[in-house]
Amino acid sequence: MAFEHLCGQVMTDSNGTTYIISDNFSVIYPGDAHPDVYEWADISAVKIDKSSITVTTGKQTYHIPDRAFTGRAQFTAAKTLILSQVSDKETVCDVSVEVLPDKRFYSNYDIPDSAVFAKGEYNPKEIRSSVLSLVLGKMGRLLWCIGILACVATAIIFQMYIGFAQDTWWYLSIGTFFCAVGAVVLTYLVMVLIAKIKYSGLIRSCADNDETITFAVCPAGVSAAEESVYSPHEIIRFGMNDNYIETSSMFIVTRGNAPLVWIPKSLFDGAALDRIEQYLALGTQDK
C-alpha cells in the first residue's frame, strides 16, 4: 500500500462522534467506550468531495463534515489514506474532479536521486491553455475533414443552383473558401466551448487548491502530490497505455488518452525540462 508513512487521522464532528481513519475505519459515538471498527474490505462505497468524506459500509453511512477536520492538511491526509487503502479493493469511489492524480494510482517505489524534483502550485491559466491544446491536438484532423467536406458541399450546391461556367469559377473559389473557413471556425468554437465545460471542474479545482505540490519525474514514473502527504517512496508507475503530450506550458502524462498528471514547465529550468522529456519518452515508449 502506498503512503504508509501517513499517521492515522482522528476527526470529531459537532455531535461528538469521533472518526478514525488508519489501517481500519473506526467510529466512536459519544459516551461509548467501544468503537465500531470496519476493515477497508467491508467498505462498500466512499464519496469524497472538496471538503467532506462519506463512508458507506453495508446499510450504515457515515458522513465526516468539513468542520470535523482541523485544516486542509488533515483532510488531504484522510483522503489520501482512504484512497490508498481501497486502491486494491472493489470499493465504489466517487471522488470530485481535481487537477492532481487520483491517489489510487500510486504504488510503493523509492524515487531515485537522479529524478527531477520541483515544488510549486498550478497556474489556472496554464491549465486552461493546455486543455485547449490537448483538445485541438486530438481534433485537428476533424477540422481538416470538416473544411474539405464544406468545400465539397459548397461545390455541389453551386453546381445545382448556378452551374459551372468559365465566368463563375471565381465565385465558386471564393464561396468554397469562405464556407470552409466558416465551418472550421464554427467547429473550433464549439470544441472550445465543449472543452471548457468538460474541464471546468478540473480548472476550478486548480484555482481552489492553495497547497504546495511536490513533483518528481524519473524513468519509472511520475509523482505530483500535496507537500503535506508527499514522500519519496510513492510514485505512479508508467504503464502500457501511458503516453505524454507536450504543450507550451505543460507536460501532460496521459493514460488511455485521458490526462493523468499535469507537469508545469514553469517550475523547471531548461536542463531539467530536457531530462523530463527524456524520462517521459523512455517511460512511455512501447514496452
Q: How many percent of the chain have pLDDT more than 70? A: 94
With a CB cutoff of 8 Å and minimum separation 6, the contacts of 15 are 30
Residue 171 pLDDT exceeds 70: no
Average pLDDT over all residues of the chain: 87
Regarding the domain delimited by 116-121+210-284, which CATH topology (the fold level of the hierarchy) does it fall under? PH-domain like (2.30.29)
Domain 9-96, CATH number (from 1.10.3470.10, 3.40.50.300, 1.10.3720.10, 2.30.29.30): 2.30.29.30
Could you read off the pLDDT of 7-39 as tens digits, one per residue? 999 999 999 999 999 999 999 999 887 889 999
Q: In angstroms, how far is CA 15 from the centroid of its own chain?
A: 35
**Topology agreement, domain 9-96 and domain 116-121+210-284:** yes
DSSP collapsed to 3 states, 56-104: EECCEEEEECHHHCCCHHHHHHHHHHHHHHCCCCCCEEEECCCCCCCHH
Residue 161 pLDDT exceeds 60: yes
Dihedral pair phi/psi, residue 27, rounded to 5°: -130, 130
Q: How many CA atoms lie within 13 A of 235 on its CB side?
A: 20
CA terminus-to-terminus distance, the chain: 25
User: What span, in angstroms and rounded, lies between the C-alpha atoms of 214 and 244?
Assistant: 19
Confidence band, pLDDT 50/70/90 cuts, at residue 234:
very high
Confidence band, pLDDT 50/70/90 cuts, at residue 59:
confident
Specify which residues 55 forms β-bridges with. Answer: 46, 62
Is the overall model pTM greater than 0.85, yes or no? Answer: no
With a CB cutoff of 8 Å and minimum separation 6, the contacts of 183 are 146, 147, 149, 150
Could you read off the pLDDT of 63-92 as tens digits, one per residue? 999 999 999 999 999 999 999 999 989 899
pLDDT value, residue 77: 94
Q: Residue type at 14?
A: S
Could you tell me the residue ranges of all domains in the chain?
9-96, 116-121+210-284, 124-202
Residue 251 pLDDT exceeds 90: yes
Range name among 126-135, 200-209, 226-235 with the lowest pLDDT average: 200-209
239 sits in which H/E element: none
Could you read off the pLDDT of 85-110 as tens digits, one per residue? 999 898 999 998 888 999 999 999 99
Dihedral pair phi/psi, residue 79, rounded to 5°: -60, -45
Confidence band, pLDDT 50/70/90 cuts, at residue 179:
confident
| Bridging pattern class, strands 116-120 and 242-246 | unpaired
